[in-house]
Amino acid sequence: MIRKLAPTGIAAAEIGGMTNHSFLDEQRNSGKSRAIKSGDSKLEKEWRLVEYLLIHEMSMVGLNLLAKLNRIICSAKHVDPQVTFGGVNVLFFGDYLQYRPVYHASLHTDFSLQSKSTSSKLPNEKEIQQRVVRSLILQINCVVKIPNKC
């Protein structure tokens, strides 16, 4: 089974999926996200048969969102958090550099540049999660370029 997510309603409609925030049960500007509880049968049911996660318009997806998805999938599938996206194959679609995510670090954020300027400051939980997901992004081992047909 394929779970399809996109950052905007239009992009989600194009692929027959749902928005990232809708899936995460997040209201705009509330700052509250879906609670992740062990034994959440609804969450487990949503992910039980999912083998592929398709993320459309990837440039608009930030590291924070991917960190949340990673935690949710690992929890739902009852796997070690070190198993990337709970073993679900993630397919990113769209132009990697087209638009930046709003209020979040982009997938191509280079933390090595930031660490030199703020070396005396310890990273907070959010920054640690961003770095973990950035390391997941760096593990991408296959890129397919599909040429546009005019």
Question: What is the full per-residue pLDDT of the chain (150 aa) written as tens digits?
Answer: 999 999 889 989 999 999 988 887 765 555 555 556 666 678 788 888 999 999 988 878 888 888 888 888 888 888 888 888 889 998 888 776 676 667 676 666 666 655 555 556 777 777 777 777 777 777 777 777 667 665
The whole-angstrom separation of Cα 61 and Cα 64 is 8
Strand order in the sheet with 18-19: 18-19, 2-6, 52-55, 89-92
- Is residue 110 within 8 A of residue 100, CB to CB? The reply is no
Write the DSSP string, 56-110: SSGGG-BHHHHHHHHHHHHHHTT--TTSGGGG-EEEE-S-TTSSPPSSS-BTT--
The whole-angstrom separation of Cα 46 and Cα 136 is 23
Residue in 100, 95, 92, 101 with CA at minimum distance from that of residue 148: 95
pTM of the prediction?
0.71
Number of domains making up the chain:
1
Residue 142 lies in a domain: no
Q: What angle do CA 43, 47, 52 make, to 5 degrees?
A: 150
Task: State which residues form the domain around 39.
Answer: 2-137
The whole-angstrom separation of Cα 94 and Cα 57 is 5
